[in-house]
């Protein structure tokens, strides 16, 4: 799966699982930051990240290793999409 396809799926997850406003989701780009406290981010907090990780595991069939530092992968849609695409390659 290509990062762009993953990005589209992530936007769907945001709207359906995290109840993100669909009108705002239209304006998201790969460069959009995820964590709250960063300028122009969508403002996800720790609980949002847990819910997002669970949804990613379910949708893409990958396991998010909780013992690993996943924060660098959750900085933007680009980093997260590339991470997921690399984990699903050949799957």
CATH, residue 84: 1.10.1200.10
Confidence of residue 68 (pLDDT cuts 50, 70, 90): confident
By percentage, how much of the chain surpasses pLDDT 90?
Answer: 84
10 within 8 A of 49, measured Cβ to Cβ: no
Number of domains in the chain: 1
Question: Of the candidates 12, 23, 20, which has an alpha carbon nearest to the alpha carbon of residue 56?
Answer: 12
What values do phi and psi take at 69, rounded to 5? Answer: -80, 100
Largest CA distance in the chain: 36
| pLDDT for residue 65 | 81
In this model, does residue 76 exceed pLDDT 80?
yes
Distances (CA, A) of 4 to 34, 38, 52, 85: 16, 23, 18, 9
| Domain, as residue range, for 56 | 3-88
Other Cβ atoms closer than 10 A to 50? 13
Rounded to the nearest integer, the mean pLDDT of the chain is 92
In this model, does residue 91 exceed pLDDT 70?
no
- Tell me the three state secondary structure of residue 29: coil
């Amino acid at each position: 799966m290509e990062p762009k396809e993953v990005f589209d799926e992530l936007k769907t997850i945001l709207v359906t699982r995290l109840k993100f406003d669909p009108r705002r989701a239209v304006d998201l780009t790969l460069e959009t930051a995820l964590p709250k406290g960063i300028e122009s981010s969508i403002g996800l907090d720790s609980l949002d990240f847990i819910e997002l990780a669970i949804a990613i595991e379910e949708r893409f069939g990958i396991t998010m290793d909780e013992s690993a530092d996943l924060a660098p992968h959750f900085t933007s849609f680009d980093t997260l999409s590339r991470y997921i695409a690399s984990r699903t390659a050949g799957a």
